[in-house]
Amino acid sequence: MKMPSEPHTVAMTTLPDEAAGAGVHAGARAGQQSPEQSGTASQQLAVFDPADPFDAGSTFDPEATFDAGLEKRFSLAAQPAAGLEAENISAWFGERKVLDRVSLSMPAGTVTALIGPSGCGKSTFLRILNRMHEMVPSASLAGEVLLDGQDIYDPQQRITAARRNIGMVFQKANPFPAMSIYENTVAGLKLAGLKASRAEKDFLVEDSLRKASLWDEVKDRLHQPGGGLSGGQRQRLCIARSLAVSPRVLLMDEPCSALDPTSTRRVEETIESLRGEVTIVIVTHNMQQAARVSDTCAFFLAAQNTPGVIVEHGDTNAMFSDPRDQRTNDYVNGRFG
Amino acid sequence: MSTYLPEYHPEQETEATARPLTYRFEPKDYVFRSITRSGGIIVLVVMAMVGIFLASNGISAINEVGLWKFLTTQNWAPESNDFGIAAVLWGTVQIALVALLVAMPLSLGTSLFITEVARGWVQRTLTSLIDLLAAVPSVVFGLWGAYMLQPNIVDFSKWISVWFGWIPMFQVEGVDPASPLRDTVPFTASTFIAGLVVAMMIVPIQTSIMTESFRRAPIGEREGAFALGATRWGMIRTVVLPFGQGGIIGGTMLGLGRALGETIAIYLIISPVFEIKFHILEKGANSIAAMIALKYSESNEFAMSALMAAGFALFIVTMLVNFTASAIIARSRSGAESEG
């Protein structure tokens, strides 16, 4: 395993202490007011009230609109990778609890793999990391997600800023079909309402496509529709699109599950080349892939009718060679799941 | 157990030929196919019969004056052989365009609100209210327009004509803006008011078609946009509107088709004039359908034939509009799931 920033000196996995956690954080949902609801009128914040049927979610912040310059809201300059810290994340869909007080640290510039059988909540966890979870109408959550120490669910934070800093690549490649490859790559600028000069865009397109190792394949047809690419190319186009807004963290939700082995290798090479520049969190069902690309690994598991938890997490080598929990051992060796 | 290696002779390549594929249907499928097919055929036959009926009855009137005169004459006096659809056809199109201009943004906003902003009971209630609006009989809209909307809107008409009268379209003859008297009569029974009422009547169809096409914008693309830090408007602009383009155009055209054929509401509001008018705020308007309703009871056989000819012209125009609309809806992406 390559360790770009801070090498782990002790290659050892961690088993979350269930008992201690339960004592401190029992009733986390009841005691902690949900961040969306804690804004007050005096703060001049238009906060999203999930119960308001006239509004599916508003993030308008009148004060910020006046004082924040464009460059403050959005910068074309690449930002350094940031550490991501999930603290006591619980999640519900309606009444059904799918995650229970999950904490995980994802150090800056590293690649973290989330593994575990289907339905154990790892995709939900990933979607909580960039506030996509709340797009599901019945979804709710508790806990904190700290990006460089700053809670992205803080009422003062803008949801668009959180999502721009924490990009996401989905299981199914979703380029905008009406746009060309070029337009797709810089779509983030348009979506954020940012004007960029032609030269800036040209640079950004080449830079992002190179990072996603797609440039050589598409440089002669940048203005053809993005939908005309192969599955693997479309996925890498989505990666390039995410990179173009210079995120500090990139989340990947089973990015290779629909790809053939060659395309999978290209995506893995892309991940390899991004190591150190961006913090990457990847959900994968492919054990070998997790072992190949990740520095640290977290094993999620949900027993019958109970919410998902992290059974074990830590250095990838240790997770695969010498797991401390029997269930991890069984899973990474393909004995279930 | 061992594996097999099939023998392959490249020189025999030409031996393979495509075989014809035939298949037998289950008896149940035969019954189902015949029933659905006859349903489709009956609709087509009825449609064709309406067209043939109108054409065959109208042809004698058109022959009497000639096609060119029929299309260009503004007057409608079959008894003196001086009639044509120029004025009424123009009036029909004008009312429909006013209706479209008002209804289109209203429907677009409503459907975006329903699909992208409203949630829960607001969304459900609004959707069914819009559908309910479609069920209101047009005579009720006509009465509402004539007795409720008109007395209240004429001051607005006047305001437009006073301030924007320099645009020929908004000019109204015989009104002195400086006069202190509230003289609103010249503003009643106008194309503008008829168009407003028709707008209310075509909002439901436009809204429901746009809503349907917006709703089908793929969740993957929506999430992709949001994951890039899109604002809601940014997401709508890049994902929902391009996807729903066909629905917007198609819904608008279907609304136009309806507006062209609207009869009784217009009949109740306008005071018919048989001249090509450009002043939409001024008293006096006309439409083919309203004219037919107006003249029908007092017509002899020849006058009836003339009305049939006018009806045939309307039939052709609405058919063209509706065919264009359905072609656009069918060809748009919103009619199909995204590929891949």
Given a contact cutoff of 8 angstroms between Cβ atoms, the answer to whether A225 and A253 are in contact is no
Residues 134-163 of A with CB under 8 A from B: 135, 137, 160-163
Put simply, whether B337 touches A (Cβ < 8 Å) is no
Q: For the residues B300-309, what does the mean pLDDT come to?
A: 92
* Long-range contacts of B331-334, Cβ-Cβ distance < 8 Å, separation of 24 or more: B331/B246, B332/B213, B332/B245, B332/B246, B332/B247, B332/B249, B332/B250, B333/A177, B333/B243, B333/B245, B333/B246, B334/B212, B334/B213, B334/B214, B334/B216, B334/B217, B334/B243, B334/B244, B334/B245, B334/B246, B334/B247
ipTM of predicted assembly, 2 dp? 0.79
CB neighbours of residue B182 within 10 Å:
9
Q: Look at residue A281 in the predicted model and tell me its pLDDT.
A: 95
Q: Is A187 touching B (CB cutoff 8 A)?
A: yes
Which is higher by pLDDT, B78 or A60?
B78
B340 pLDDT above the threshold of 80: no
Minimum-distance CB partner of A170 among B224, B339, B340: B224
Which of B122, B230, B333 minimises the CB distance to A191? B230
Q: Do B123 and A188 touch (CB under 8 A)?
A: no
Calculate mean pLDDT across residues B50-63. Answer: 93
Q: According to the model, what pLDDT value does residue A49 have?
A: 56
- Burial code (b: 16+ CB inside 10 Å, e: under 16) for A200-235 equals ebeebbbbbbebbbbbebbeeebeebbbebeebbbb
Nearest-by-Cβ selection for A55 from B117, B224, B238: B117
Phi, psi of A155 (to 5 degrees): -60, -25
Q: What are the start-end ranges of the E strands in chain A? A: 13-14, 84-93, 96-106, 111-115, 139-147, 150-151, 166-169, 249-253, 279-283, 296-301, 309-315
> Which token pair is A316?
């990838």
Q: H or E segment at B77?
A: strand B76-77
Closest CA to A123 of A253, A259, A308, A258: A253
First-to-last alpha carbon distance for chain A, in angstroms, is 25
* In contact, A249 and A111? CB cutoff 8 Å: no
**Is A94 touching B (CB cutoff 8 A)?**
no
**Gap from A200 CA to chain B (nearest CA, Å):** 18
In this predicted structure, which of A24-33, B69-78, B157-166, B238-247 has the lowest mean pLDDT? A24-33
- Residue from B125, B127, B228, B339 whose CB has the most chain A CBs within 10 Å, to mutate: B228
Rg, Å, chain A Cα set: 20
Instruction: For chain B, give every domain's residue range.
Output: 27-335
- Whole-Å CA distances, A48 to A45, A153, A240, B32, B110: 9, 12, 31, 52, 21
Q: What is the pLDDT of residue B307?
A: 94
B263: β partners: none
Smallest CA–CA separation between A23 and chain B, in Å?
35
Q: Is A98 exposed, middle or buried (0-12, 13-18, 19+ CB in 10 A)?
A: buried
Which residues from chain A sit within 8 angstroms of residue B339, using beta carbons?
177, 227
Residue type present at position A130: N
Residues in contact with B293: Cβ distance below 8 Å, sequence separation at least 6, in sequence order = B263, B264, B267
Instruction: Give the residue, B176 or B93, on which the prediction is more confident.
Output: B93
**Which residues of chain B make contact with A179, given a CB cutoff of 8 A?**
238
Dump pLDDT digits (tens) for B229-258. Answer: 898 998 999 899 999 988 899 899 999 999
Mean pLDDT across chain B: 89
- Cβ of residue B333 closer than 8 Å to a chain A Cβ: yes
* H or E, element range at A321: helix A316-321
Residues of B in Cβ contact (< 8 Å) with A183: none
pLDDT-based confidence at residue B214 (cuts at 50, 70, 90): very high
Q: Measure the CA–CA gap between A335 and A199, rounded to whole angstroms.
A: 54
- Rounded Cα–Cα distance for residues B123 and B119 (Å): 5
Q: pLDDT per position in chain A (337 positions), as tens? A: 444 444 444 566 777 765 444 444 444 444 444 444 444 444 444 455 555 666 665 444 444 444 344 344 445 556 788 899 999 999 999 999 999 999 999 999 999 999 999 888 999 999 999 999 988 888 999 999 999 888 999 888 888 889 989 999 999 988 998 889 999 999 988 887 777 888 888 999 999 999 888 899 898 999 988 878 888 899 999 999 999 988 999 999 999 988 889 889 989 999 999 998 899 999 999 889 999 999 999 999 998 888 999 999 999 999 999 888 999 999 988 887 5
Q: What is the pLDDT of residue B269?
A: 92
Q: Note whether B340 contacts A172, CB cutoff 8 Å.
A: yes
Q: What is the pLDDT of residue B173?
A: 80
Q: Which helix (H) or strand (E) holds B76?
A: strand B76-77
Q: B27-335 adopts what CATH topology? A: MetI-like fold (1.10.3720)
Q: For residue A65, list chain B residues with Cβ-Cβ distance below 8 A.
A: none
Region of A254 please: left (phi>0), alpha (psi -120 to 50) or beta. Answer: left
Question: Helix H segments across chain B?
Answer: 27-65, 67-72, 86-112, 120-135, 138-144, 150-164, 191-215, 219-227, 232-235, 241-261, 264-269, 288-295, 301-331
Q: Encoding tokens for residue B53?
A: 């009926």
Three-state DSSP class for A305? coil
Q: Name every chain A residue with its beta carbon within 8 A of the beta carbon of B237.
A: 190
**Residue B266: both structure tokens together:** 């217009």
**pLDDT tens-place string over residues B88-130:** 999 999 999 999 999 999 999 999 999 999 888 999 999 999 9
Residue B52 has pLDDT above 50, yes or no: yes
User: Would the CB atoms of A57 and B242 count as touching at under 8 Å?
Assistant: no
| Yes or no, beta carbons of B119 and A242 under 8 Å apart | no
Say which range, A273-282, B15-24, B73-82, B157-166, has the weakest mean pLDDT: B15-24
Query: Residue A272's closest CA among A231, A317, A206, A212?
Result: A212
Return the number of other C-beta atoms located less than 10 Å from residue A114's C-beta.
28
pLDDT of amino acid A253: 93
Taken in order of first residue, the domains within chain A and their CATH numbers are 24-53+83-332 (3.40.50.300)
One-character DSSP codes across B41-62: HHHHHHHHHHHHHHHHHHHHHH
- DSSP assignment, residue B78? G
User: Which residues, 6 or more positions from B288, have their beta carbon under 8 angstroms from its beta carbon?
Assistant: B85, B88, B89, B91, B92, B310, B311, B313, B314
- B336 — contact with chain A (CB < 8 Å)? no
pLDDT-derived band at B166 (thresholds 50, 70, 90) equals confident
- The structure tokens listed for A117 are 């059988």
Nearest alpha-carbon partner for A74 in A211, A193, A222, A249: A193
- Nearest-by-Cβ selection for B230 from A53, A173, A192: A192
Phi first, then psi, for residue A317 (nearest 5°) are -55, -45
Residue B321 pLDDT more than 50? yes
The per-residue pLDDT for A334 is: 84
CA distance B102 to B92: 16
Name the token pair of A162.
């959180």
